[in-house]
Chains A and B, each alone.
Chain A
């Protein structure tokens, strides 16, 4: 649906933070121009919320990494040129977190097989990616060997701030408002109906709060101050807003709620295109770390509550 900016919003900041000069030069310019498209290879069938239990292996032999294993839910991997992925390179490391490295891999090689998976929206926007002795140069490593977990946290933060971007919430709200402007609710113009006015205003409070909070985070960061635990909340705030938008749109689109959303471009489509957002809000709850994982992070790292054992 929306351009995900996997390369520009996730990989580029990570390379700037942790990459070698050679990797920066090799990849950043062409990623920014859109000539190189990326996929994110973190999740595996048995390593989702518990990402650090991942099993894809990479071994260094004759100056190359040899990669074996499987990734899943990799967004738009079927159209990507490269993938940044997490693989286990230090099988003897003392903890599951310490044996992981962050590698860049060319997806266009015989050892890589990509199978698109159809989403509930009807489009195949994520994929399974199988690695059967795929190779990548020894120095396409971001951060040191066994430091992939730390590096991945950097990417995840970028991903979550991307998903948590207040502008996207504001934009979504504006679209909802223009839907409301065009719709009837209970037989009267929706914006004239007290229930709709109330529901939209409640949501407006959340959206405006999120926007000003993002301004404040930005200003603080620009002045070298740490915004604190609020940064951990952005993704959940954004996800919650998208759910409330979906719930209101559901009552604005009327009997278009019964129709399938378009699978290609939404241009010129009727109100049933909102059903896509109804589904996408669920994807948002799950992708980039589920809402429950966000809640754990907010509670434990943000509020300082005792940690759940081994999580």
Chain B
């Protein structure tokens, strides 16, 4: 792997960064964070216009046909701005359709997903911290689903739901399907709202019965969460460093105190070298299939754990202001909580890594 980004990759990151610098400033972020839906249609549309919604979807469906590494690079930038919205679930739903053996469904839905006009999401969790394909118990019984999924990202805004079922199968459920009951959960991360979905004999179409596809989808999720965590932690630290340069106590910037300096240096050392971890995991996903699962598990565990440490350290370094709702830092803490717990926490992923590494 060439550990350098191509010009195209840098350009995409730059385009998203430029767009968010205009549209996702602190005021916008807090407005959406406090809003009832957590989803801002204008912001989403703008991201779609840059190509974010169809980045890794096939060109013939109107996507950009790029790889997971490119999507992850964008996830990093979105994470840095703590961007609210359905990017995660949407990207995963798109991949599931693109990989589906049901070509009719793919042809029908991919153009809308690529353009962002159709919003997708994924339903993995079943409560009791069961997240993974081998843990899914919702019966795979076409043509209707019966059961409950929880912690579904932007369930309330989604038009299409990719549902994981027993045996690691994936089904597609449409928003207007009969027998679909969606209720919102009180998400700690208000930039990525969650919902609970009950299926009462809800018509569903099989996307794939091959468990390795579901596995691959979860690996993509791990990489995207790791990338978000890297972007978020990095930005959180940057802001904290800026604050430490300007906030004065005892007649000097607080960053002049060696105690604080060392703490911030430690956070930098925790996060900065970890960039390669998500790059490698994305690259393995794209090019080295036998490495994809362990690399994704390790990146997800390590980076989301770092994000918790860095965002908490950032609150501390801000003092009283860091503990307020109005401070941006608290939003990063909550994004870190999402990245950490979604799809299972760090211990679960570390145990998986150790198993996959053959230890």
Contacts and interface: CB of A to CB of B under 8 A. Distances in A.
Given A120-B315, A296-B259, A275 B323 contact: no
A15 interface: no
A292 B257 contact: yes
Q: For chain A, what secondary structure do more than half of its interface residues adopt (helix, strand, loop), or is it mixed?
A: mixed
Contacts of B338: 258
Contact of A282 (B125, B129, B194, B316): B316
Contacts of B273: none
A295 B319 CA distance: 15
25 contacts: A46-B248, A48-B320, A49-B254, A72-B320, A119-B325, A120-B315, A122-B325, A185-B347, A186-B348, A195-B347, A250-B308, A250-B345, A251-B345, A251-B347, A254-B341, A257-B337, A257-B340, A258-B151, A258-B338, A259-B185, A259-B187, A259-B194, A272-B186, A287-B320, A311-B250
Contacts of A310: 250-251
Contact of B250 (A50, A257, A286, A287): A50
Nearest to B258: A308
B127 A255 contact: yes
B320 A118 contact: no
B347 A186 contact: yes
Of the candidates A43, A292, A308, the one having the most CB atoms from chain B within 10 angstroms of its own CB is A292
Contact of A119 (B263, B323, B340, B348): B323
Interface string B325-359: 11100100100011011100111100100000000
Contact of A260 (B188, B315, B319, B342): B188
B118 interface: no
Contacts of B315: 120, 282, 285-286
A260 B184 CA distance: 12
Interface residues of B, number: 47
A217 interface: no
Contacts of A255: 125, 127-129, 131, 150-151, 341
B249 interface: yes
Nearest to A278: B337
Interface of A: 43, 46, 48-50, 53, 72-73, 117-120, 122, 126, 184-186, 195, 250-251, 254-255, 257-261, 272, 275, 278-279, 282-283, 285-287, 290-292, 295-296, 308, 310-311
Interface of B: 125, 127-129, 131, 150-151, 185-190, 194, 248-251, 254, 257, 259-260, 263, 308, 312, 315-316, 319-320, 322-327, 330, 333, 337-338, 340-342, 345-348, 351
Contacts, number: 120
A112 B315 CA distance: 30
B317 to A, nearest CB: 9
A32 to B, nearest CB: 29
Contact of B187 (A46, A53, A184, A258): A258
B188 A49 contact: no
Contacts of A185: 347
A258 B339 CA distance: 9
A120 B330 contact: yes
B323 A286 contact: yes
Nearest to B150: A255
